[in-house]
Chains A and B, each alone.
Chain A
Amino acid sequence: MAQAAIELIGINKSFGAVRANRDINLEVTRGTIHGIVGENGAGKSTLMSILYGFYQADSGEIRVAGKPVSINTPNDAIALGIGMVHQHFMLVDNFTVLENVILGAETDALLKSSIAKARSELERLEREYGLEVDPDAIIEELPVGLQQRVEILKALYRGAEILILDEPTGVLTPAEADHLFRILKQLKEQGKTVVLITHKLREIMAVTDTVSVMRQGTMVATRVTRETTVGELAELMVGRRVLLRVEKGQSETGAIKLSVKNLTVKDSRGVTMVDDVSFDVRGGEIVGIAGVAGNGQSELLEAISGIRHAVSGEVMLEGKPIELTGKADPGELRDRGLAHVPEDRHHVGLVLAFEENENSILGYHDDERYLKGPFLNVDAIMADAKDKIEKYDIRPANPRLKTANFSGGNQQKIVLAREMEQDPGVLIVGQPTRGVDVGAIEFIHKRLIAMRDQGKAVLVVSVELDEIRSLSDRILVMFAGRIVGERGPEATEGELGLLMAGVEHQEAAE
Chain B
Amino acid sequence: MDSFNAIVQVLDSTIRLSVPLLLACLAGLYSERAGIFDIGLEGKMLVGAFAGAAAASVFHSAFIGLGTAVLISVAFAMVHGFASITHRGNQIVSGVAINFVAAGSTIILGQAWFEQGGRTPALQPGERFEAIVWPGAEAVRNVPILGPVYAELISGHSILVYFAFAMVPFTWWVLFRTRFGLRMRAVGENPAAVDTAGISVAWLRYRALICTGILTGVAGAYLSMVQNGGFVKDMTAGKGYIALAALIFAKWKPVNAMFACLLFGFLDAASIRLQGSPLPILGKVPVQFMQALPYVLTVILLAGFIGKAIPPRAGGVPYVKER
Report A's interface with B, CB cutoff 8 A: 15, 45-46, 49, 52, 54-55, 73-75, 78, 84, 86, 88, 90-95, 99-100, 102-106, 108-112, 114, 154
* A102 adjacent to B182 (CB under 8 Å): yes
* A92 adjacent to B196 (CB under 8 Å): no
* B179 adjacent to A94 (CB under 8 Å): no
The residue that A110 contacts in the complex, of B177, B192, B193, with Cβ under 8 A, is B177
How many angstroms from the CA of A15 to the CA of B178 in the assembled complex? 39
How many angstroms from the CA of A92 to the CA of B193 in the assembled complex? 7
In the bound complex, residues from chain B placing their C-beta under 8 Å from that of A74 are: 195-198
* A86 adjacent to B196 (CB under 8 Å): yes
* A112 adjacent to B177 (CB under 8 Å): yes
Indicate with 1 or 0, residue by residue over B171-204, a CB within 8 angstroms of chain A CB atoms: 0000011111111011001101111111100000
Interface set, chain B 259-306, CB cutoff 8 A to A: none
User: Smallest CB–CB gap between B321 and chain A, Å?
Assistant: 7
B interface, by DSSP: helix, strand, loop or mixed?
Answer: helix
Interface set, chain B 186-228, CB cutoff 8 A to A: 186, 189-190, 192-199
* B178 adjacent to A90 (CB under 8 Å): no
In the bound complex, residues from chain A placing their C-beta under 8 Å from that of B197 are: 74, 90, 103-105, 154
How many angstroms from the CA of A74 to the CA of B197 in the assembled complex? 7
In the bound complex, residues from chain A placing their C-beta under 8 Å from that of B183 are: 103-104
| Nearest CB in chain B to that of A74: its residue | B198
The 9 A-B residue pairs whose C-beta atoms are closest, nearest first, are A104-B197, A75-B198, A90-B193, A106-B179, A90-B196, A74-B198, A92-B189, A92-B186, A92-B190
User: Smallest CB–CB gap between A150 and chain B, Å?
Assistant: 11
How many angstroms from the CA of A74 to the CA of B321 in the assembled complex? 12
Q: Can you report 8 A-B residue pairs in the complex whose CB atoms are below 8 A from each other? A: A74-B195, A90-B192, A93-B313, A94-B189, A95-B185, A103-B186, A111-B181, A112-B177
In the bound complex, residues from chain B placing their C-beta under 8 Å from that of A45 are: 323
In the bound complex, residues from chain B placing their C-beta under 8 Å from that of A92 are: 185-186, 189-190, 193
How many angstroms from the CA of A93 to the CA of B193 in the assembled complex? 10
* A100 adjacent to B193 (CB under 8 Å): yes
User: Smallest CB–CB gap between B308 and chain A, Å?
Assistant: 13
A106-B182 contact given A92-B190, A94-B189, A111-B177, CB 8 Å threshold:
yes
In the bound complex, residues from chain A placing their C-beta under 8 Å from that of B192 are: 88, 90
How many angstroms from the CA of A94 to the CA of B180 in the assembled complex? 17
* B179 adjacent to A109 (CB under 8 Å): yes
| Nearest CB in chain A to that of B180: its residue | A109
| Nearest CB in chain A to that of B186: its residue | A92
How many angstroms from the CA of A380 to the CA of B178 in the assembled complex? 59
Indicate with 1 or 0, residue by residue over B301-323, a CB within 8 angstroms of chain A CB atoms: 00000000000010000000101
